[in-house]
Structure 1
């Protein structure tokens, strides 16, 4: 046990908020509701402040007693609230996301060489003649992985080359300290906030075409069943022979007819077909052991030339382009597993990506939810990834598939970083897993590279002292990842509300995606936006059922069930609250099936499926009175997670699409 005798330093220094007259002076109301308010304002108040302006303030005095209030000094007038730029800035300041690098980091980055040192190259294996290529989104600026494959007599020979960031970011340096603090790059609709300075992230470490680049490479021999029969890890120098895009790869493989042809992809069709074949074998092997593929829809903000949202769509909706993404995902997954097994087998300290078994109570609840929708899933079977994987494949293509995938994801634990290699990764059904393939944008990958380099060079690793330090870094990286995900989500919501301001009065179709204490969330498919129906508009008091998937009206016995189709009209879009408010026009309640659906293991035709019944006229909710005529109804019906500010379930992210860094 210990006693806190004082606070040496506080992480939170800058806050945003608004000024209000208070007696003869001014008080400051912070946006962050975690802070005690109002705060006293000390020092001068700029004359340029207008009513409704967002203020950046610095906390200059923290209270020593609970009844005292903090004191703040005005730093800057940011501008009017409700503007996208200002609202995004508020979110960044709230969570300590910095775009500008400290001066010592800038100086260190400026001192980096313009090109790879020839003396360094001499001590590395030369892969410059190998036709390694990068495959990324067209807007990507940082390229940290390149791949090459060939067929061999008993399978495939795969080389995955990863940018050697560890050569440039030395332990304890200013760049290293800043990378620890940031933990990860943050991706916003209009820009990326990198973990490392651009001199590295988009230049010297990035695997751009026709430039010598240092890399850590993994060569794997993989048999016809997708098993890695042998591997080696080594330091190398490489030269990317092509910058391929997912759309171009999908088009070259004949997986889609959307998007332009890409010559650099077209001339590598033979190699791409081998990659596709290997990808399918690797995926089949993972599925056989029980890897879970949630494949939930994600939103993508499309901006116009002025940086305003012009469209909100589902990303990777085209199945052919999604398959091109999976090719790279599969190569990265097998590489990460191979490196994890390598470190574990040599009993070396490392930072692993672990995902524990789900809580039995959560799984039990999910099984009951699945049964309420007519799908049988035994609790004992649901405790293993293999049975859950089979369940996900069986429900594929059904009306409830997206909703049940999301609810199962919510039942999972959150994946974290840890030095204990024995936990494994439940969702991937992998005994060994870590992150190695993205050191430009994730700090744990950089730590893994340092361990591997010491192993390759036969340098001693003091596990007793290194492992506790790695554990501290792992915990901090897990927290940084959660922070970045919250920031990215909230910024997306800012753009969603701004976009929907142009659609007030319009009608859309959607499905119930979640419940909150204050209302019901509706997910639209086009645009891909979540709409809130507030309880105060529904003229009844609603209570959830035991499973939390239905709401029952106390007076009307009206039942709202998750995934029910509804029609809503957009009434308001509040940028500050980041909520799109709608009113209910039509509700089509569906009764739960009376017979459990039993489905073939192959995921084919359903057997014994009870027909869905629509509620009778007395159960239909009457349309809300129209306040004004709206434009033609737009259709959409994809469920999405509720926005209830609970922890995001990050089981294992795909290779995250990287967006253009705009200056």
Structure 2
């Protein structure tokens, strides 16, 4: 499955990749000891700043910075993730906390002052000291600050949510299509608390009727209400270690809008008619009310469909699941024929003990149940995208443009270094990449090639302009199926409602452009925070395995070291150049090589596990 379609995990690798530079080297990397620098005075080397990449007006008002000893005494601040190289502590702000070497702080930009050279240097004052850089708790706080993650809900929002939660859905369908007698149920992860989608299926002649029922969040979150303003500001739920920073208060996400079993819940339903070969022939979108027949899990459904284990499932549900698997197989075949890219990337899952401490990092299993739900959600999102296109033309689409000619040329050049000769044309890129991934399947360079391809792709974003989704190989695609955790889905719900009732969406294109851009930025921020958190937790766990040996496959070679995908655990290791094996005959490394490694520590600031070859 293409990573953008992984609806139930947070590592949307292809949407917003922060990959290492997964390039094949022009020559094999020689593990030659780098030249030593001239001895200094024992203090960390701090390079004089080049002309600042950011002009004073472009420097953020506050930012994270690490204190290091300056070349002439005093303390120099090294900003994290900023384009300028350092800022000097002004030391003139009354009451400013005293900053020590090696500590991380939130600092405030205070202008510039002349230096010995021609360029003025940025100056900053200390606002708040977070802790010693590289310590686990400090780095966790740093992630939250760096990405401006929201805190508690305002009291006005909680009060509004509480008032709504006291208004239970009535037993009356109240103008909605009543689906409460249908065999419709939810399938989610074992630990899921909010259930915003449910599915049902029946045989229709030689084909199928499929219902995808989504929690009607927009019924409760009215445009301009305190709930709506806060949800818009947050944009998406954020999943960090053992915590979730929700887009909506729990009164809605875990109760009123959650499709819990045996309780009436308001939904929006996409009813789809499929032919015997999995072709979508017709669809209808309408407001409905359902009563979920069961709360199933992916592991439970996969066990039934793959091994026949399902003693606790009713005969009706067993029959529905069998039909769903049948339909999924036909739909998946058509998706691949249409150009969908299937990467099958490893997904790290943190395994914790009863105290929440990470005990293992394993590859999250994606069984047939996960893939069935993903395929059904894509079909529903595609139907909604078509409805928006047929309305006013503009809408809130999930778009993924084809790779640029330049990036495809770069990809071809990188592949050429591996001996793979291919010139990928932009108009045929989907099929060419499918063939490329198939050609490297089960080969030692497979992981590295997948990363090269992902690096060449553009980001998937929200847009009012429908340009299709390259990774999924489809057109007219929207996001509709996760309104509890994604704000664009709420907009899509409102637009479909208004188009059905009034023939107009109620959203002018200009303001909607701004909403789409804002949603894309907030999503990217959340995903970076989630990815950093997993990296931090993984590195912190791997530090406890110092001295342990692993087998790793080289996936990236850089001048300063190489990254390897570990075999025994779902993690990456980084081998700095100075820790590569020397002596003997082994001095060269290639992408895909399997090496024996030893854990020597972890760099929590860079979220890396440091290893050496053995």
Task: Tell me how far 1:271 sits from its aligned partner.
Answer: 0.7
Which consecutive residues of structure 2, in runs of 5 or more, have no partner in the other structure? 1-55, 114-119
Match of 1:552 in 2: none
Alignment of 1:135 with 2:187, yes or no, is yes
* Aligned 1:193-272 pairs, distance under 5 A: 193-255=245-307, 263-264=312-313, 268-272=317-321
Match of 2:556 in 1: 514
Find the aligned partners of 1:368 and 1:53 in 2 and give their Cα distance: 43
Match of 1:598 in 2: none
User: Which of these residues, 448, 451, 465, is aligned with residue 406 of structure 1?
Assistant: 451
CA change 1:266–1:186 in 2 (3 A) is farther
User: Secondary structure of 1:254's partner?
Assistant: helix
* Aligned 1:9-28 pairs, distance under 5 A: 15=64
CA change 1:501–1:267 in 2 (3 A) is farther
Task: Tell me how far 1:482 sits from its aligned partner.
Answer: 1.6
Asked whether the equivalents of residues 415 and 421 of structure 2 are also in contact (C-alpha less than 8 Å), the reply is yes
Asked whether the equivalents of residues 349 and 451 of structure 1 are also in contact (C-alpha less than 8 Å), the reply is no
User: Secondary structure of 1:457's partner?
Assistant: helix
User: Which of these residues, 120, 123, 133, is aligned with residue 69 of structure 1?
Assistant: 123
User: Which of these residues, 510, 516, 525, is aligned with residue 567 of structure 2?
Assistant: 525
Cα RMSD over matched residues?
3.4
* Aligned 1:254-653 pairs, distance under 5 A: 254-255=306-307, 263-264=312-313, 268-316=317-365, 321-370=366-415, 372-373=417-418, 375=420, 377-380=422-425, 383-421=428-466, 423-458=467-502, 460-461=504-505, 466-538=508-580, 558-585=587-614
Asked whether the equivalents of residues 250 and 324 of structure 1 are also in contact (C-alpha less than 8 Å), the reply is yes
Match of 2:19 in 1: none
Find the aligned partners of 1:497 and 1:130 in 2 and give their Cα distance: 48
CA-to-partner distance for each residue in 1:71-116, whole Å, 9 max, x for gaps?
3444xx6556544343222101111012322333223223323343
CA change 1:380–1:211 in 2 (3 A) is same
Find the aligned partners of 2:480 and 2:136 in 1 and give their Cα distance: 35
Find the aligned partners of 2:173 and 2:233 in 1 and give their Cα distance: 31
Task: Tell me how far 1:203 sits from its aligned partner.
Answer: 1.5
Task: Tell me how far 1:262 sits from its aligned partner.
Answer: 6.9
Asked whether the equivalents of residues 248 and 265 of structure 1 are also in contact (C-alpha less than 8 Å), the reply is no
Match of 2:87 in 1: 37
Asked whether the equivalents of residues 158 and 249 of structure 2 are also in contact (C-alpha less than 8 Å), the reply is yes
Find the aligned partners of 1:98 and 1:475 in 2 and give their Cα distance: 19
User: Secondary structure of 1:69's partner?
Assistant: strand
Match of 1:593 in 2: none
TM-score normalized by structure 1?
0.75
* Aligned 1:102-113 pairs, distance under 5 A: 102-113=154-165
Alignment length (residue pairs): 551
Task: Tell me how far 1:287 sits from its aligned partner.
Answer: 1.1
Which consecutive residues of structure 1, in runs of 5 or more, have no partner in the other structure? 1-5, 541-555, 586-663
Task: Tell me how far 1:507 sits from its aligned partner.
Answer: 1.6
Find the aligned partners of 2:134 and 2:180 in 1 and give their Cα distance: 51
User: Secondary structure of 2:111's partner?
Assistant: coil
User: Which of these residues, 138, 155, 171, is aligned with residue 86 of structure 1?
Assistant: 138
CA change 1:413–1:238 in 2 (3 A) is same
Higher relative contact order (CA 8 A, sep 6+): 2
Find the aligned partners of 2:83 and 2:432 in 1 and give their Cα distance: 42
Find the aligned partners of 1:513 and 1:226 in 2 and give their Cα distance: 37
CA change 1:282–1:88 in 2 (3 A) is same
Larger displacement relative to structure 2 (38-47 or 448-457): 38-47
TM-score normalized by structure 2?
0.81
Find the aligned partners of 2:475 and 2:504 in 1 and give their Cα distance: 26
